[in-house]
Structure 1
Amino acid sequence: MLKVALITPAGRGSRAGNRATATRWAGLLRELGCRVQLVAPDEDFRQPHQANSPPDLVIALHAWRSHAAILASRQVLPQCPLIVVLTGTDVYRFQHSHPAVFLDSLEQASALIGLHTAIADDIPSRFHTQLHTVLQSALPLPPGAPRPGRRHFNILVAGHLREEKDSLRTALAVRDLPSDSRLRVVQLGRAYSVEWANAAHEEMACNPRYQWNGDQPHWRVRQWMARARLMVISSRMEGGANVVSEACVAGLPVIASDISGNRGLLGDDYPGYFPVADTEALRRRLLRAERDPAFVAALRERVVARATAFRPEAERDALARVIAACGLNCRERLAQ
């Protein structure tokens, strides 16, 4: 049985995207016949493997946050293949603010994983031969899921409140709309700071079209996806947001900021983009969606067409291909 150490910077119980990815991948790798152990970056990497059973493969989520664990794995297990997974903050923030650490993690890797198809354009070309794409998957909404109501045209924003997400952009876009507009914004996610929490509360106090419901379990997020008519992804940077996969599989139309991380999931010719941080452009897109059913239908048609790329078996098979590129074959072990 192939033994995998999966390093994730998000601890047990976290609803951060890195933890969701690690948990889902652990399940997919087990389907492939692997034995998986989740490891935090600040753990003594040697400790879980002292009993003469070192891992056959190390996978590290986040090149910057997991850098110490990446170095430790190379010191303790120099012959063990190492896969480094590139996140949005890795590529679009820490590559520029902490280039030595970011590049060192990539240099240590046997293979790299990007979570959207355009990420090769955003890393040095010398790493392209090591780069593989694994698109994050999602499950369909369950039968009998809630349906959108008629009173409001609900827009969902799902993601923790922080700078990278430009989290209040959609709320700003629905201020001072015509009185007959039915647009309402429901935002789900934990505030990453007191300042973000205060900003959300202040926005609710002055903007009757905005509601922040805080951190929610995944099943509640899926309920809101079923109730919404549209989702907005307003991020300034993304490494390949799983919420985009979720929306596509749910058939929920998306309005997205025009960034590589969204284009690498929805395609260059997707008709629902708006310029980053452009409140007026986003407002125009939202009003058009409310008033033009054909526009919403066109967006829905496109996300539904993309949904097949986000099936769990596609993600599992992509992981198997990366493992094979490292000289390991989990499927043979599964057959045994």
Structure 2
Amino acid sequence: MAASSKRTICIVSPGTARDNNGNWHTADRWARFLRDDYDVVVQERWSARWPAPDLLVALHARRSARSLGEFREYHDDRPAILVLTGTDVYHDIHRDSDAECAVLLADALVVLQPAAIGELPDIVRPNTHVIYQSADALPTLPGVPGRKDVTMVGHLREVKDPATFMRAAALVTAPGVFLQQIGAALDADLERLAERTNDTVEHYAWQGGAPREYARDAIRRSHALAVCSTMEGGANVIVEAITSGVPVLASDISGNRGMLGDDYAGFFPVGDAAALARLIDRSVQDDAFIATLRAQCAARAPLFAPEAERAALLRLVDNLFHSIPSIGKRT
């Protein structure tokens, strides 16, 4: 009798390496975590015309709804996981019929922080799992002498609210503070605002799009990371900052609270540039305050360790296969 082959997993990600976005980074990281035990492929979509994997993992309810729907229609005996993004949790599943349907089709749902569970329909909460994203722990890097960099990383689009960061740049007063923004312009109005701020505010720079490694090194050199989003499922840049010992100044939204904890001291009201500027100034001028932020972030760091994410993912996948033991057992 021939040895059993590995079970197959297809990860459907609407984001690709070219997009360099959160969906892609999650898909790529999960593929690496799973490949020791399973045959894994990452695709933008799945179609019933193609061979069926033993397990489908779909990222983004609305954008992967068709792939998940076809998989469930033709292979109802095989398990499927749906990973919910911020736009899924806080917008699409409440307004978009495809996203609403997708949530009901999956055998298991994954959210990236626990506050997201409260947004889901009661019927699916028992099948919902929290898997925090992770990043390798890397030490901080020396910054520019005499300068305190506050960095925002994210493409220029409305949901990330880069305009609040730009407006805050004109309001900070602490000496030596430098605000840098990293991300490609996906909105023409925000691009013009970034260019204008770049020209008029001496201690602000828009760096444009950059590879992930460049962005993370910039975070590691920073005094603090700013996250201004109006909506987040679980921002990976928060993970990258915390696992490098860099504190976070974050908009007070559910997704950021789920990542940082309700008692975190570094929140500011959404869209309030003056409040962000005051937080930046305080973080530079108040040693006790920045020490508190660093300690609170350090306490969260174990949640974002790669071994913790990998163990949670493998546990979920193994349990799904265990519940349907015949799937993928070929001899």
How high is the TM-score relative to the length of structure 1?
0.91
Q: Is the 8 A contact 1:156 1:231 kept in 2?
A: yes
Whole-angstrom distance in 2 between the partners of 1:12 and 1:297: 37
**Could you tell me which residue of structure 1 aligns to residue 230 of structure 2?**
236
- Determine whether 1:134 maps to 2:131: yes
Which residue of 83, 86, 103 corresponds with 2:84?
A: 86
Q: Is the 8 A contact 1:6 1:60 kept in 2?
A: yes
The CA deviation string for residues 61-94 of structure 1, in whole angstroms up to 9 with x for no partner, is: 0001111111111123221101000000111121
**Could you tell me which residue of structure 1 aligns to residue 3 of structure 2?**
none
Runs of 4+ in 1 over 3 A off after TM superposition: none
**Could you tell me which residue of structure 1 aligns to residue 18 of structure 2?**
13
Aligned-residue sequence identity (percent) comes to: 37
Shift of 1:195: 2.6
**Could you tell me which residue of structure 1 aligns to residue 249 of structure 2?**
255
Q: Is the 8 A contact 2:47 2:71 kept in 1?
A: no
Which residue of 102, 114, 118 corresponds with 2:115?
A: 118
How high is the TM-score relative to the length of structure 2?
0.92
Letter in 1 for 2:85: T
What RMSD in Å do the two structures reach over aligned CA positions? 1.8
Which residue of 164, 168, 172 corresponds with 2:163?
A: 168
**Could you tell me which residue of structure 2 aligns to residue 153 of structure 1?**
148
**Could you tell me which residue of structure 1 aligns to residue 30 of structure 2?**
25
How many residue pairs get aligned? The number is: 320
Change (3 A) 1:148 1:12: closer
**Could you tell me which residue of structure 1 aligns to residue 186 of structure 2?**
192
Whole-angstrom distance in 2 between the partners of 1:38 and 1:177: 44
**Could you tell me which residue of structure 2 aligns to residue 65 of structure 1?**
63
**Could you tell me which residue of structure 2 aligns to residue 46 of structure 1?**
49
**Could you tell me which residue of structure 2 aligns to residue 266 of structure 1?**
260
Give the secondary-structure state (helix, strand or coil) at the position aligned to 2:282: helix
Q: Is the 8 A contact 1:46 1:76 kept in 2?
A: no
Give the secondary-structure state (helix, strand or coil) at the position aligned to 1:79: coil
Whole-angstrom distance in 2 between the partners of 1:140 and 1:212: 26
Give the secondary-structure state (helix, strand or coil) at the position aligned to 2:162: coil
Letter in 2 for 1:112: L
Unaligned stretches of 5+ residues in structure 1: none
Letter in 1 for 2:159: E
Give the secondary-structure state (helix, strand or coil) at the position aligned to 1:326: helix
Q: Is the 8 A contact 2:9 2:41 kept in 1?
A: yes
Whole-angstrom distance in 2 between the partners of 1:174 and 1:87: 29
Whole-angstrom distance in 2 between the partners of 1:18 and 1:223: 21
Give the secondary-structure state (helix, strand or coil) at the position aligned to 2:208: coil
Change (3 A) 1:6 1:318: same
Whole-angstrom distance in 2 between the partners of 1:199 and 1:294: 34
Change (3 A) 1:207 1:22: same
Shift of 1:176: 4.1
Q: Is the 8 A contact 2:111 2:130 kept in 1?
A: yes
Shift of 1:204: 0.9
Shift of 1:293: 1.5
Letter in 1 for 2:102: S
**Could you tell me which residue of structure 2 aligns to residue 35 of structure 1?**
39
